Amino acid sequence: MDNEQNSGAQTQPSQPADKKFHFKRPTKRQTQRFFLNVLFIVLGNAITAAGSAFFIVPNGFSMGGTTGLGIFVRDMLAKYSAVGEEWTNWAVQITVYSANIILFLLGVILLGKKFAVATGAGTFLYPSFLSLYTPLQEAYFNANGHNIGAGGELGSPLFAMLCGALLFGLGVGLVLRVGASTGGTDIPPLIFKKYFNAPVSVTMWIVDFSIVALNLIAAPLESVLYGAIITLISSIVVDKVTPIGMKRIQVKIVSMHYKEIRDMILKKVSRGVTVLYGQTGYLKQPCHMLLTVVSSRQLVTLKSEVQKIDPNAFMTISTVSEVSGKGFHTEGVEFLMSQRDDGSPAMVDDPDESDGVR
């Protein structure tokens, strides 16, 4: 028996002592997308910090996020301590750095390594740009005697509030567009989502407006109201900027001439199309529905061509937030379609409909 076991053990393939891991070289498209994402993250944090450093912080407005905490600490030091003005001006940057690092470490512990990769850049880039812009703002103040937007040629505090909110929302929207995060107070809502299944958007609003309300202790009511409006406007801008350029038109077509319409979409419109099988509601007859996604400019052509083929075709048109994958771009359609000898795309024969849906 021992010999049989030994012989059986000897027949098993031996595992290599050293395993070699082979990493696939990224494609040109993947490389371009990576550098584009990095550009969006850096540019987004730079714009966000510009809105804070040039318009919000120097004009004494309250706001949410770690910047709002920094403004609160600065106002508390200026009101209740004997610290010099030089230190109070740097209180915002020091608070933002400290709060971002603490929240980042808390997120790494509770949310894992994937969170660290997506949030690490924003955690350090935003306060770095804020520290870079602060001397520029102070130099402008020393040269002109007022903060940007607080008077003179550039207008009023209302102008500063609008510019700060728009820049802040634009920057955050660019960062969120590539799936990254600016860190800071974005982290607690993610933690509450994971452990308590609380909606991220609701928790984020609660955190930001709580910080704005906290500034009532050390700031005048006018500044806090400006901060509430800044938080509201920047949130709207984020919702508008994030999907810019991604929205497309989804079209569903129900027609007895679905074959001709399908061929037209593939050849003339150069878009992918999916055939869905269904049943009519009243007569309960088998039917086919075509599903395709086109750009806004192609929608007019598609509707016109469908009307030529079948004036009675039933169409529904809706807007989708984002489209990805092969089949939307022309090259994707041509890649999927077979080719004739002359290089032109050839249609695939329809399957036998003797069994199943007709």
Residues with Cβ within 8 Å of residue 58, at least 6 apart in sequence: 137, 141, 147, 148, 150
**Residue 126 tokens, joined:** 């935003």
Average pLDDT over residues 250-261: 93
pLDDT band at residue 356 using 50, 70 and 90 as cut-offs: very low
pLDDT band at 90 (very low <50, low <70, confident <90, very high): confident
- Asked whether residue 238 carries a pLDDT value surpassing 90, the answer given is no
Q: Name the percent of the chain lying above pLDDT 90.
A: 25
pLDDT above 70 for 84? no
| Total domains in the fold of the chain | 2
The larger pLDDT score, comparing residue 233 to residue 343, is at: 233
Q: What is the pLDDT of residue 163?
A: 92
With 70 as the cut, is the pLDDT of residue 37 above it? yes
In this structure, are 223 and 91 located in the same domain? yes
pLDDT digits (tens, 9 = 90+) for 149-173: 665 555 578 888 999 999 999 998 8
Q: Do 63 and 229 meet the contact criterion of CB atoms below 8 Å apart? A: no
Question: What CATH number corresponds to the domain at position 321?
Answer: 3.30.70.120
The rounded distance, in Å, linking the Cα atoms of 81 and 34 is 47
Q: If you average pLDDT over residues 259-267, what whole number do you get? A: 92
Residues 133 and 281 occupy one common structural domain: no
Q: Tell me how long the chain is.
A: 358
How far apart (Å, rounded) are the C-alpha atoms in residues 194 and 200? Answer: 10
Specify if 339 maps to a domain: yes
Quick one: 233 and 258 in the same domain? no
Q: Is there a domain that residue 14 lies in?
A: no
Claim to verify: residue 199 and residue 282 sit in the same structural domain: no
Judgement on whether residues 149 and 204 belong to the same structural domain of the protein: yes
Q: Which of 295, 243, 289 is nearest to 269 (CA)?
A: 295
DSSP bridge pairs for 292: 251, 273
Cα distance between residue 322 and residue 178, in whole Å: 12
Packing angle, helices 65-80 and 200-214, rounded to 10: 10
H/E element, 251: strand 248-254
| pLDDT(106) > 80 | yes
Query: pLDDT (tens digit, 9 = 90+) per residue, 69-82?
Result: 999 998 888 887 76
236 and 253 fall within a common domain = no
124 falls in which pLDDT band (50, 70, 90)?
A: confident
The residue among 241, 266, 291 that closes a domain is: 241
Q: What is the band of 312 on the pLDDT scale with cuts at 50, 70, 90?
A: very high
Q: Collapsing DSSP states into helix, strand and coil, what is residue 291?
A: strand
| Ramachandran quadrant class, 279 (left: phi over 0; alpha: psi -120 to 50; beta: rest) | beta
Boundary of a domain, candidates 201, 220, 241: 241
* Residue-range definition of the domain harbouring residue 291: 248-346
Positive or negative torsion for Cα 294, 296, 300, 303: positive
Lowest-confidence pick of 37-41, 195-199, 200-204: 200-204
Task: Label residue 147 exposed, middle or buried (CB < 10 Å: 0-12, 13-18, 19+).
Answer: buried
